[in-house]
Amino acid sequence: MKTLLVPLALASLLLTAPAAGADQAAAREQLAKAGIAFTPEAFLQAVSMSESAHAALFVEAGIDPSVRSPGNRTALWIATERHDLETLTALLAAGLKPDAKTAPPLDGGKSLVFEAVDSGDPAIVRALAEAGADVKAVNDYGVSPLSEAARVGNLEICQILLKAGADPNVAPGGFPMIYGPVNENHLEVVRLLLASGAKLGEHKPALLEAAKTPEMKALLEAAE
């Protein structure tokens, strides 16, 4: 029985490898027919011009997805910064993974998910989270994407990040992230964070002092 395993494994590789190569060749042929050169510059231009179908073809054709623009942006960064959900979705669907090579942090340690939060578009955040982007990465100041979403009161984005595994107890500067939405009076966001396991701990008196409405005070009074 053991003697059959190696030949079968080799046969499997021989059957699948040419198919992948054929797919790449077909994608390059489509780009050539469209008069588009298979170069990193042309790839990034397609992303910048929101040519989602062509951008996806580059990925399928085997382009290096970590190539960067003169502004040090990868394709995923360009699409996210432009709030271009269609192109971002096309890149991800073509197999581009938002990892350390294709979605490296930029100045200040800002992550791609943090940039998506700044866009204010839940669909962009969801697309990245579902593709496996790191939703927990904090910037150089210890602020997480969830911290920022909570501070500005974007309830839907907070829900997406928490579902993807974001930590509601990150403490930028040693103070709990829940202080942001308490101070900005985002009652439903605070309610969500508490329901998701956020703790007040020793900061409860300061948080109560920051509360601006009776409803917020009551919510915090009942929390640990």
Q: Is the pLDDT of residue 12 over 70?
A: no
pLDDT at 18 exceeding the cut of 70: no
Same domain, 84 and 140: no
pLDDT > 50? residue 9: no
Range of the domain at 29: 22-63+71-95
Pair 130, 217 in one domain: yes
In the predicted model, what is the mean pLDDT of the chain? 92
**Residue 46 shares a structural domain with residue 133:** no
139 and 194 co-located in one domain: yes
Write the DSSP assignment of 11-55 as a string of letters. Answer: HHHHHHHHHHHHHHHHHHHHHHHTT---SHHHHHHHHHTT-HHHH
Do residues 132 and 197 both lie within one domain? yes
Q: What is the pLDDT of residues 25-52, one digit of tens each?
A: 999 999 999 999 999 999 999 999 999 9
Confidence of residue 21 (pLDDT cuts 50, 70, 90): confident
Question: Can you give the CATH number for the domain in which 176 is found?
Answer: 1.25.40.20
Residue 2 scores a pLDDT above 70? no
Looking at the fold, whether 140 and 206 belong to one and the same domain comes out as: yes
Do 136 and 188 lie in one domain? The reply is yes
Q: List pLDDT tens digits, range 176-198.
A: 999 999 999 999 999 999 999 99
pTM: 0.88
Q: Are residues 144 and 219 in the same domain?
A: yes
Classify residue 76: in a domain, yes or no: yes
Residue 60: predicted pLDDT: 96
Within 10 angstroms of residue 163's Cβ, the number of other Cβ atoms is 13
Whether 37 is in a domain gets the answer yes
Question: Could you tell me if 150 and 180 are in contact, meaning their C-beta atoms sit under 8 angstroms apart?
Answer: yes
Residue 138: what pLDDT?
Answer: 97
- Is there a single domain that holds both residue 155 and residue 51? no
Question: Taking a C-beta distance cutoff of 8 angstroms, is the pair 40, 68 a contact?
Answer: no
Residue type, 207: L
Q: Could you tell me how far CA 36 lies from the centroid of its own chain? A: 29
More confidently predicted of 8 and 46 = 46
Per-residue pLDDT averaged across 152-161, rounded?
A: 98
Let me know if residue 8 belongs to a domain.
no
Same domain for 132 and 38?
no
Is residue 115 domain-shared with residue 165, that is, in the same domain? yes
% of the chain beyond a pLDDT of 90: 88
Residue 174, both tokens? 């040693």
- Give a yes or no: residue 193 inside a domain: yes
Cβ neighbours of residue 187 closer than 8 Å, sequence gap 6 or more: 213, 215, 216, 219
What is the total count of domains within the chain? Answer: 2
pLDDT digits (tens, 9 = 90+) for 197-214: 999 999 999 999 999 999
